[in-house]
Amino acid sequence: MSELDGLWEQAGGSDPQAFGQWAGRVERPVRLYLRPWAARVDVECIVQEALLRMWVRANDGEAEPLTGENASLRWCCRVAWNLARNEARKRGREVVTDPQEMPETSVSPEEHSSPGLRRAIAECVQALGEKLRSVLLARLEDHGLRGDLALAESLDMTKNTFLQNIVRARKQVAACLEGKGVALEESVR
C-alpha cells in the first residue's frame, strides 16, 4: 500500500489531519489533470469541489472501499473531470476529450518542492505592495476555510475588489518569478 493510500484510509476514520495531508499530496496532480479544462471552467473551484466530495466519501461508512494503487487519486481525478465536464456543458463551452485518453496520474513518493523555488516565491510575494501582499497572504493562509466574501470583509474590501487584487497579485508574482528565471510552465508540470 502506498503512503497516499495509507493517508486515504486514515482519513476514512474521520481523521482531518490525515485527509489534509492526503489532499495536500493530490491537489497538484488533480490540478494538472484538469489542465485541458483551464480555458473552459474555473479549475480552482473544480479542484475544491472534488476535494470536498472526497472528504464526504472518506467519511461515508457505506461507500465501497477504493482499491488499487493510488485509487483515491484516480477516483478524485475522475470526480474532478466529471465536474469540469458538467460545468463546461452548463456554460455551453466545448467539452474536452474523454479522460481515458489522458495520461495516468500519480504522485511519486520522492516528489518534494524545490527550496530554491520556494525562496523565489517568498521573495516575489514580499516584493508585492502592501495591499496586494495582504490580499494574497489572506487567501493563502486561510487554506480555503472561508469564502472570498469573508476574506474580503476581513480586509474591509468588497468581494469584487478582493478578487481583482488577487488577480493583480498573482500576475505580479508570476512576472517576478519569470524575471528570476523560473519557467512557470515547467514548474507546474
Task: Looking at the structure, tell me whether residues 49 and 92 fall in a common domain.
Answer: yes
pLDDT score of 46 = 92
Domain count, the chain: 2
Instruction: Please indicate, yes or no, whether residues 89 and 143 belong to a single structural domain of this protein.
Output: no
CATH number, residue 126:
1.10.10.10
What span, in angstroms and rounded, lies between the C-alpha atoms of 72 and 156?
40
Q: Are residues 14 and 73 in the same domain?
A: yes
Q: Kindly report the CATH number assigned to the domain that includes residue 39.
A: 1.10.1740
- The per-residue pLDDT for 188 is 45
The C-alpha cell at 55 is: 472528504
Can you list the residues of the chain whose pLDDT is less than 70? Answer: 1, 13, 97-114, 143-144, 184-189
State the cell numbers at 187: 514548474
Give dist(CA 56, CA 117) in Å, integer. Answer: 34
Q: Which domain holds residue 24?
A: 3-101
Residues in Cβ contact with 155 at an 8 Å cutoff, skipping those fewer than 6 apart: 134, 135, 138, 162
Contacts of range 153-158, beta carbons closer than 8 Å, 24 or more positions apart:
none
pTM to 2 decimal places: 0.54
Angle of helix 115-126 relative to helix 159-179, nearest 10 degrees, comes to 130
Residue 43 falls inside a structural domain? yes
